[in-house]
Structure 1
Amino acid sequence: MEPGPVPRPLILAVDDDPAVGRAIERDLKTRYGMRYRVLRADSGEAGLAVVEQLVRRGEPVALLVADQRMPGMDGVEFLRRALRMAPRAKRTLLTAYADTEAAILAINEIRLDHYLMKPWSPPEDRLYPVLDDLLEDWEADAAARSAEPGLRLVGHRFSARSHATRDFLARNGVPYRWLDRGDAEAISLLAAAGRGDDDLPVLVFEDGEAMVRPDQARLAARIGLHTVADLPFYDLVILGGGPAGLAAAVYGASEGLRTLLVERHATGGQAGQSSRIENYLGFPTGLSGADLARRATVQARRLGAEMLTAREVTSIRENGPSRVIVLDGGEEIGAHSVLVATGVHYARLDAPGVEELTGSGVYYGASPAEAGEMEGEDVVVVGAANSAGQAAIDLASRARRVTLLCRGPELARSMSHYLVERIESLPNIDVRTGTVVAGASGDGRLEELTIATGGVEERLAVAAAFVFIGARPQTDWLGDVVARDAAGFLVSGASLQRVEGRHRWRLDRDPLPLETSLPGVFVAGDVRDQSVKRVASAVGEGSMAVQLVHQYLGGLAPVAS
C-alpha cells in the first residue's frame, strides 16, 4: 500500500474576538497557506481541543498564535497548556500595550518565542518578518528530527572517544542516529562490519562504509565539510569561528574583502554551546547559541565568506607586507591581514580522578549530546559565571536534581542578576557556595563526586558533572610571535606602548585599536586582554576589527562608517 500524503504542519490562531480572529487567519493564510494548514479557534478551550486532536493523530503543530485578552482562559494560560502537548511548537502572543508585562513574564515562564502588539498592520512589516523567522527555526528543527539519517554512530555512552565524535557531528549540524553498543541494531551493524567493542566508536555511512575511531580531520572530509582553502591568498583571514570571528566574516565579506574563516571544531565557539542567551540585544525572548551560530554562519557564507572547518592553525609568520598562516598538515595561506579570534576554553578541573573520567561523565561545557541524556538524573554544574548558570537552568528542565557548585561566597558576584533570580526560583537546583570539587570516581564512568565545603567533604552520587570554570586563552600555538600577557591573552592597541623587549611596538605610527604587536594582525573577543566576556562585546569587536583592517589596508587613512 502506498503511504498517504504527509499532513501539512498546522498554524493555529486563537482569539475570541471574531473580527481580530478573521484578520489574523486571513493574514496567515495569505502568507503561509500553501505550506501550512491554518486553523482558527474562538477560545483557549477550543484551541486546546484542536491541539490535542492533532497530537493524538501524530500531526505536526508548527505555530500557536494566541490573544492575551480572552475570557475564561487568557493567551498565556492557553500557551502554557498547549506547550505540554506540543512542546516544539513556536509560541506567539497577541497583546495590547497594557499587556506587555504579562508578555514579558511569559517569556520566562513558558519560553514565549515572541509577542506582537495589535494592530499588526501592515503585516509585511510587523507580522510576517517575525513569523518567517520562527517558522524557519521550526522547519530546521523538524527536518533534523524527522529525517532518517543515513549516518549511524555506534559507540559507548560513557566513552570519551564517542563523546568527541557526537559533539563534533552535533555542533556542525550533521544529522546522525546514535546507537548504544548494546542495542540490537548496533550489534548487527558491528557484526556486519566485522568490528567489535575495541573498535568503537564506529560510523556507518549510508553507502555501507564503516569508519573506525575517526579523527576529526578524516570525519570532516568524509561528511563534506569544507577543509581546503580555495585561494592561496586573502585580504583577511579570521582565526576562530566564535561570535567575534563570525561577525568579522559577515562584515568583511559584505564589504568586499576576500575573507576566509578557519575554525578548528565548529562555528559558535563557547557561545555556540549555550542552551540559551537571554541578554543579547534585539532578542527579547533569547536564542540558543546553536541558533546564533547557525544564523551567523549562513549569513557570512551568503555574503561571500569562505569557511574552513576542522582545520587547526599551528603558526603565523611575517613575510614582508604579508602574513602567512600555517595549518595542520603544513598547508600555508597568505593574507594581507589576520584577525585572531580563537577565544578561550574552560580551565581543567584539578582534582583526583577527574582527568581519567573526562568525556565519560565529566564534561567541559554542556553540549546537546550530553545534556539531552540527563532525563531524571542527578547532575552537578561547576562554576559561577553566566555560562554555568544558563547550563544549570537548562539541565534543570531534564534532570531530577542539579547541584551548582560555586567557589565564591555568592553567585551574584559573577553571574547576571536575571540568571540568579531564575536559579533561585527553580526547586530542583541546589546552590552550594564556598564549595569545590575534591575528587571524582567511578568504574569506567563518573558515578560519584567528592565535594568540599569549608574543609568538610561530602560524596554525591551523580550521572555527570559539567564544568564551567576559568577562561584559558587559546594562544599557545602563537608561541613568541606576538605579545601576550602573563595569562596568555593577546595585548593590543594602546596597551602595546607599555610592552618592552622584542614585542615593543616598532613602527612610527601608533598601533590601531585591536592591533597586536605584529602589525596587520588584529585580535577580537575573549582572547584579547581586558576583554568583556559577553557575546555582544565579541560581536562588536569582530565588526570593529573589519573597519580597522580597512584602515590598515588603506595605508591608515580613516575609513568613514
Structure 2
Amino acid sequence: MGQPAILTVDDDPSVSRAIARDLRRRYGEAYRIIRAASAAEALEALRELKLRGGRVAVLLADYRMPQMNGIEFLEQAMDLFPNARRALLTAYADTDAAIQAINVVDVDHYLLKPWDPPEEKLYPVIDELLDAWQATGDREIEDIRVVGHRWSEPSYQIRDFLARNLVPYRWLAADDPEGRRLLDAAGVGPESIPLVVTADGRAMAQPSTSEVAEAAGLSTAPERDFYDLIIVGGGPAGLGAAVYGASEGLRTLLVERQAVGGQAGQSSRIENYLGFPDGISGAQLTDRARRQAGKFDAEVLNTREVVGLHTDGSARTLRFADGAEVSAHSIVLATGVAYRPLIADGIAELTGAGVYYGSAATEGPSCAGSDVYIIGGANSAGQAALFFSRYARSVTLLVRGDSLEASMSYYLIQQLNSVENVHVRTRCEVVGAQGGGHLQAITICDSKNNTVTSVECGYLFVFIGAEPRTDWLGDAVARDEKGFVYTGPDLLSPNGGRPRGWDRDRDPFYLECSVPGIFAAGDVRANSVKRVASAVGEGAMAVTLVHRYLEA
C-alpha cells in the first residue's frame, strides 16, 4: 500500500508551502506529504488515494477557506478515511469560531498559525496524532463484514459492539446484492443473520459478542491466574485505575463486559472535562485512555462477564460466567451504572428496532430526514440531542420535570436553545410505542396540557436515569437498597462501629468496601458524584489506597 499520507489543505499559498516544508522535514521519510490549495482539490486527491488502496494518517485543514471551510471538508473527508486523525489550522482571531465548529465533527486538535517554532508548536501535536493513528491501525473497512437486517436487534447489537470497541467493519443489508452473495457463500439464509465474515473469510452465523471479539483480535482470556490488581469495569473510573495501577508497577487486569468506555464512551461530546476546552467525544477520550493503559502494560479483557466474588485467605477471586476464575491481591469495582429500562407498552418488543438505550451513535446517519425523540433531561440526553440534530429533521427532548435547569448543565442548555431543529417538551412521558417490525409511532402523555397523543417516530433514544449492575455481588460486600456499594465512612455505624466481619485493626479506607482489599470507584459507589472527572479521580485514588492496603 506504500507510504501513508499526511494531507494538508490551505488556500494561502505561503502557508501551504510552509507547513508542507515543515512536515517533510520531520516526517518525509516515513510519510507521503500531500498539499492542496482548496478543499475540492484535497477531496479529489483523497478519492484517488482511496481508489488506489492508499492510507491517510493525518488531515490538516485550514478553518477559513472559500467555497468549503475546514469543518465542511473534514466532514466529507471522514467518509473516505474515517480512521485518519484530524486537526484544524486557524488564526488566533478565529479560535472561538473554530472551537464552536469543532462540536460539529470530531476534530482531535486545532493548531494556531503561525506555529513557529515547529519543534514546540507543530511536531508534538503531529506526533500525538500519528501515535493515535498507528495505535488504532488502518485496517481496511472490509476487514470485518456484517450482514444483517436494518431493524434486527441482534444485528444492531453486533454493529454497536464493533463501533464502541473501535473495530472497523462494513455493514451490508441482507437484501443487498453483496449481502446476498455473502449469505450464499456461507451457505446460510436470511434467517441466520447477523452473519459476520472476517478478513480471512471465516463466516460466523449469529455469533456471540465474545466470538466477534476474538475474531476482531480483542483479548478475551487473561494471561495469568493471579494479579496485584483486578479492575471490574472499563468506564472512566476503571480506566483511571488501570492507568495509575499499571504505571505504578502493579500487575493490572481490567475486565470489561461489553465495551471499554462505559456510558461515557457513548457520549457524542463532553465539553466540561478538564483540559479539553474545545470538547472531546466519549469515543476519543476512551481511545486515549485505553492506549494510555496499554502503554503501561495494563491488560484489558473484553466480553467477559463477572458473576461472582469471594475471598480465599489474602486472595480476592472473581468468577466468570463460564465458570473460570481469576484472583488478585486487591480488586477495584468500577462497574458503573446501566440505563434504567423504560416500562411502557411495546418498548421491549421494539428495542433495537427503533428504540435504543444511550446515544447509539451508529444510528446517526440512518436518522437523516427522520423525527427523533429523546427521553431524558440530564447531560447525556442533551449531548445526544445535539449529535442527532446533525442528521435528523427534528429532535424532541421529552422531559418528565418542569424544566432542564435542575438536571442539565447550563452550557448545554444554551447550546440546545441555539439549534433550530431541537425542541424541548416538559412534563411529558412516553407511555407506549407502536410499529410493525420497527418503531413507527409513540404515545406521549403530556401532564402540562392534560393530553395523550400519538406521534410518528422512527427513532426513540432513552436516557431515564441509571441503576448499578451489582446483583452479581450478592452478599460479598455491603450495598444500599438500590444496589450501590458502601465504602469508607458510610460503612461505620453512628457510634463508629466497623462493618460486620471486618478483620483489620483500622477503619476502612475511604473507597474500601466492607471486605478489606476490595474497593469501589465511580458511579457504582454509594453517594459518589456522577461526573466523568470524579470517576477518573476516584479510580486514581483507589490505586493509592490499594498501595496502602498492600503495604500494611
Q: Which residue of 2 aligns with 1:523?
A: 520
- How do residues 327-406 of structure 1 correspond to structure 2 at under 5 angstroms? 327-406=320-399
**Residue of 280, 300, 316 corresponding to 1:287:** 280
Taking a change above 3 Å as real, the CA distance of residues 206 and 426 of structure 1, as seen in their structure-2 partners, is same
**Residue of 189, 200, 206 corresponding to 2:193:** 200
- The 2-side partners of 1:501 and 1:416 are apart by 38
Q: Which residue of 2 aligns with 1:554?
A: 551
1:93 aligns with 2:86: no
- The 1-side partners of 2:63 and 2:177 are apart by 49
Bigger drift between 237-246 and 178-187 goes to 178-187
Q: CA RMSD in A?
A: 2.9
Deviations 1:325-374 (A, max 9, x none): 11111111121100000010100001111011111111111233323322
- How do residues 448-527 of structure 1 correspond to structure 2 at under 5 angstroms? 448-454=441-447, 455-498=450-493, 503=500, 505=502, 507-527=504-524
> 1:325 corresponds to which letter in structure 2?
L
User: TM-score if structure 1 supplies the norm length?
Assistant: 0.88
Query: Equivalent residue of 1:251, what SS?
Result: helix
CA deviation after TM superposition for structure 1 residue 292, in Å: 1.7
- The 2-side partners of 1:157 and 1:503 are apart by 53
> 2:25 corresponds to which letter in structure 1?
T
Give 5+ residue unaligned stretches, structure 1: 42-46, 556-561
Taking a change above 3 Å as real, the CA distance of residues 54 and 437 of structure 1, as seen in their structure-2 partners, is same
Deviations 1:130-186 (A, max 9, x none): 233345556788935xx1424322211111111112222222233322221111222
Query: Equivalent residue of 1:330, what SS?
Result: coil
1:10 aligns with 2:36: no
Asked if structure 2 preserves the Cα contact closer than 8 Å seen for 1:496 and 1:505, the reply is: no
User: TM-score if structure 2 supplies the norm length?
Assistant: 0.89
CA deviation after TM superposition for structure 1 residue 408, in Å: 1.0
Asked if structure 2 preserves the Cα contact closer than 8 Å seen for 1:14 and 1:67, the reply is: no
Query: Equivalent residue of 2:9, what SS?
Result: strand
Asked if structure 2 preserves the Cα contact closer than 8 Å seen for 1:442 and 1:448, the reply is: yes
> 2:62 corresponds to which letter in structure 1?
A
> 1:552 corresponds to which letter in structure 2?
Y
CA deviation after TM superposition for structure 1 residue 502, in Å: 6.8
- The 1-side partners of 2:308 and 2:177 are apart by 47
Q: Which residue of 2 aligns with 1:79?
A: 70
CA deviation after TM superposition for structure 1 residue 405, in Å: 1.0
- How do residues 302-341 of structure 1 correspond to structure 2 at under 5 angstroms? 302-341=295-334
Query: Equivalent residue of 1:143, what SS?
Result: coil
Taking a change above 3 Å as real, the CA distance of residues 86 and 308 of structure 1, as seen in their structure-2 partners, is closer
CA deviation after TM superposition for structure 1 residue 407, in Å: 0.9
- The 1-side partners of 2:309 and 2:353 are apart by 35
- The 2-side partners of 1:127 and 1:298 are apart by 22
Q: Which residue of 2 aligns with 1:124?
A: 119
Give 5+ residue unaligned stretches, structure 2: none
Q: Which residue of 2 aligns with 1:244?
A: 237
- How do residues 167-246 of structure 1 correspond to structure 2 at under 5 angstroms? 167-246=160-239
Query: Equivalent residue of 2:492, what SS?
Result: helix
- The 1-side partners of 2:129 and 2:19 are apart by 16
Asked if structure 2 preserves the Cα contact closer than 8 Å seen for 1:317 and 1:481, the reply is: yes
Asked if structure 2 preserves the Cα contact closer than 8 Å seen for 1:264 and 1:312, the reply is: yes
> 1:39 corresponds to which letter in structure 2?
R
Bigger drift between 339-348 and 372-381 goes to 372-381
**Residue of 411, 430, 449 corresponding to 1:418:** 411
Q: Which residue of 1 aligns with 2:425?
A: 432
- The 1-side partners of 2:512 and 2:45 are apart by 58
Asked if structure 1 preserves the Cα contact closer than 8 Å seen for 2:512 and 2:519, the reply is: yes
- The 2-side partners of 1:100 and 1:399 are apart by 28
- The 2-side partners of 1:87 and 1:172 are apart by 18
Asked if structure 1 preserves the Cα contact closer than 8 Å seen for 2:398 and 2:425, the reply is: yes
CA deviation after TM superposition for structure 1 residue 204, in Å: 2.7
Size of the aligned set, in residue pairs, is 537
